[in-house]
Amino acid sequence: MLIPLRLSVETDEQLMQRAAHGSERAFEELYNRHARRLQGFFARRLGKDSDLAADFMHDTFLRLYAARENYHEGRNFRAWLYAIAYNLCKNHFRNQFVMVADEKEDVVADTDIELEMDASIFRDALHEVLYHLPQPQAMLFSLHYEEELTILQIAQITSLPEGTVKSRLHKVMNTIKQQLQQYENK
Amino acid sequence: MKISNQDIVRAAQELRDEENRQLNVRPWNRHRHFRFPAWLTAIPAAAVIGFFFGVWTNSQTKSEQPLTALVDTVYVTIKETPTTPDTMQSVSTSAPTQSENRQVRSTKSSHPKHEHPIGQSMLNDKIRYDLLVKN
């Protein structure tokens, strides 16, 4: 008796393994799981240009599809996906001459900033602050807090030491708090 | 209200979810990589191209036909009765002797002279111009 294959219960890595062996359905399932979130990542990183974000998301999956046979067991799928996405962003900014001089290490003092602000304006303020965050900081914040990748995965994606990723994330958080304070003071 | 790191992260994730919900995501099979099987398009395309090529070549050859094809030519055989036999036939019933068996070879002058129509006047070339029909 043939039992229909339930791809939805399989992990990303199992699906990628199937896709590497030629399963189109497995790849489509992966796409359905991650496309929206990846497109959102691009939309936030590329300045709310939804068409460009859709193209970049599409490009990322095409690259993944082309390289699917190179997938080896044990490799984290999301880390691989976002490594491709990160490189696409980096190339885009390099071509646009926007990025990516390394952030200055001492822009914000490496201390915890206490923040108090009105809850009603907090979300709007955060939205504004995240939108205007410098690209390298915004990228790290996005990868760690929005896309929920681990420090180790981000270190692999960005080719930075884990310690550097940690300290930069800490500084990003301080930058955000500082700008939120400035926002409330306006 | 005191804002902690967790508050910032939670609010950022809520904003992310809101933005992601509003996105219009194309399905995978609508992307550019998805193509119809090549043979499924190539075969009908070749048939259509072949048909039009055939129609075109047919119309081309009609205009390039030789002039002779436009004229129906009727070839008429004109029987010529020989005026003199080519050989002499023996009617003797007895076994022929060697000397009797000698046959007389026809001379060149005994053949009717075949005159080629080229270079002759239309009156003598024996061509039935009245039977030439134009298409």
Task: Using alpha carbons, select from B126, B52, B15, B29 the residue that is nearest to residue A41.
Answer: B15
* Cβ pair B8:A126 closer than 8 A: yes
d(CA A57, CA A88): 10
CA–centroid distance for A159 within its chain: 15
Output DSSP code: residue A11.
Answer: -
Region A130-141 average pLDDT:
91
Q: Which domains does chain A have, with CATH numbers?
A: 7-96 (1.10.1740.10), 119-185 (1.10.10.10)
d(CA A20, CA A72): 9
Q: Which of A16-25, A140-149, B106-115 has the highest mean pLDDT?
A: A140-149
Write out chain B residues lying below 8 Å of A36, CB-based. Answer: 20, 23, 25
Query: Mean pLDDT of all residues in chain A?
Result: 85
Q: How many CB pairs under 8 A join A and B?
A: 77
The CA distance from A32 to the nearest CA of chain B, in Å, is 8
Tokens for A24, please give them.
């189109």
CA distances from B37 to A58, B48, B56 (A): 21, 18, 29
Q: Per residue in B80-124, pLDDT tens?
A: 776 766 665 555 555 656 665 566 665 555 556 666 667 777 777
Q: Per residue in A65-124, pLDDT tens?
A: 999 888 888 889 999 999 999 999 999 988 776 555 455 544 555 566 677 777 778 888
The CA distance from B26 to the nearest CA of chain A, in Å, is 8
Whether pLDDT at A36 is above 90: yes
Give the HSE-up count for residue B92: Cα atoms under 13 Å, Cβ half-sphere. Answer: 10
Write out chain A residues lying below 8 Å of B26, CB-based. Answer: 54, 58
What one-letter code names the amino acid at A124? D
Question: ipTM, 2 decimals?
Answer: 0.83
Write out chain A residues lying below 8 Å of B10, CB-based. Answer: none
Region A41-48 average pLDDT:
89
Q: Per residue in B31-73, pLDDT tens?
A: 655 556 678 888 999 999 999 999 998 877 766 666 666 667 6
Q: What is the pLDDT of residue B93?
A: 58
* Residue of A38, A115, A121, A172 for testing the chain B interface, max B β-carbons within 10 Å: A115
From B11, B29, B31, residue closest to A126, measured CB to CB? B11
The answer to whether B10 faces chain A, any CB pair under 8 Å, is no
Judge if pTM exceeds 0.80.
Answer: no
Task: Using CA coordinates, name the residue in chain A closest to B9.
Answer: A145
The answer to whether B18 faces chain A, any CB pair under 8 Å, is no
Q: What is the pLDDT of residue A106?
A: 45
> What secondary structure does DSSP assign to A67-121, as a single string?
TGGG--TT--HHHHHHHHHHHHHHHHHHHHT---PPPPTTSS-SSPPPEE--HHH
Q: What is the pLDDT of residue B92?
A: 55
Contacts of residue A70, defined as CB under 8 A and 6 or more positions apart, other chains included, come to A20
Q: What is the pLDDT of residue A23?
A: 87
* Cβ pair B5:A173 closer than 8 A: yes
Task: Using alpha carbons, select from A78, A56, A37 the residue that is nearest to residue B18.
Answer: A37
The CA distance from B28 to the nearest CA of chain A, in Å, is 6
Write out chain B residues lying below 8 Å of A145, CB-based. Answer: 8-9, 12-13
Give the HSE-up count for residue A171: Cα atoms under 13 Å, Cβ half-sphere. Answer: 18
* Residue of B18, B20, B21, B33 for testing the chain A interface, max A β-carbons within 10 Å: B20
The CA distance from A47 to the nearest CA of chain B, in Å, is 13
Q: Per residue in B2-42, pLDDT tens?
A: 788 898 999 999 999 999 999 989 888 766 555 566 788 88
The CA distance from B38 to the nearest CA of chain A, in Å, is 18
From B3, B9, B15, residue closest to A180, measured CB to CB? B3
Task: Using CA coordinates, name the residue in chain A closest to B26.
Answer: A54
Characterize B74-104 residue by residue with b for buried, 16 or more Cβ atoms within 10 angstroms of its Cβ, and e for exposed: eeeeeeeeeeeeeeeeeeeeeeeeeeeeeee
Q: What is the pLDDT of residue B80?
A: 79
Q: What is the pLDDT of residue A3?
A: 55
